[in-house]
Amino acid sequence: MVGTILRLLKPSYAVLAMLAFGGWQGYSIIAPIWGGGDVQEEVVVSEEDGEADEADSVGPLAAAMRKVHPGMRIVTWLVIYGLLCFASVPWINGVLAKESNFANAVMLFVYVVAGFLLAFLLMAFQFNWATAIMLIMAIVVAGGIIVLLAGMLEKMRIRG
C-alpha cells in the first residue's frame, strides 16, 4: 500500500496537501480567537479557598486548542506527519543513497523530533500523565512510520 502511495503521490502534491490541511486545521483553531468568539482564558478555581490559581491559567491559543477533540488532534497529527514524510521523499532518497548509518540515524532523529514537536503543539502545552503517554506514543509511531517509509524507499531504490 505504501509503495502504491509513493508511486501515485508526488512530493509536490504532498506539500500542497499538507499546507492546505494544516491551514484548514489552524484556521479552525485560530478563528474564534480572531473573531472574539467564545474562547476565553480558562482559570481553575480551587474549591478550598475560592481563589483563581494563576499557574493553571492559559492563553487564548492553548484554550482554543484544548477545545478541539483529542481524537481530531490525533488524526491531525497523523495526516500532517504522514504528508510531511511523503513530501520529503526526495530528501529521504538522498540520505538513503549515501548508505551511511550515521546519516540514517540523523534522518531518523530529525523525523522523530518533528513528530514529537508536532504532537507537543497539538497537546496545547499540557503536562500530565495522559499527555506524557501520548507524547511517548507519538515518538514511537513517528519512528515507526519513518522506518517503514525508508524501508519501502530502499527496496524501490535497490530494485531499480
* Digit-coded pLDDT (tens) for 91-108: 999 999 998 999 999 999
pTM: 0.72
Query: Residues 116, 138: contact at Cβ < 8 Å?
Result: yes
Q: How many domains does the chain have?
A: 1
Cα separation, 122 vs 60, in Å, equals 14
Per-residue pLDDT tens digits for 84-95: 888 888 899 999
pLDDT band at 44, cuts 50/70/90?
very low
Range of 95's domain? 2-159
List the one residue out of 87, 88, 74 whose CA is nearest residue 118: 74
Half-sphere exposure (Cβ direction) of 50: Cα atoms closer than 13 Å = 0
pLDDT band at 42, cuts 50/70/90?
very low
Residue 137 scores a pLDDT above 90: yes
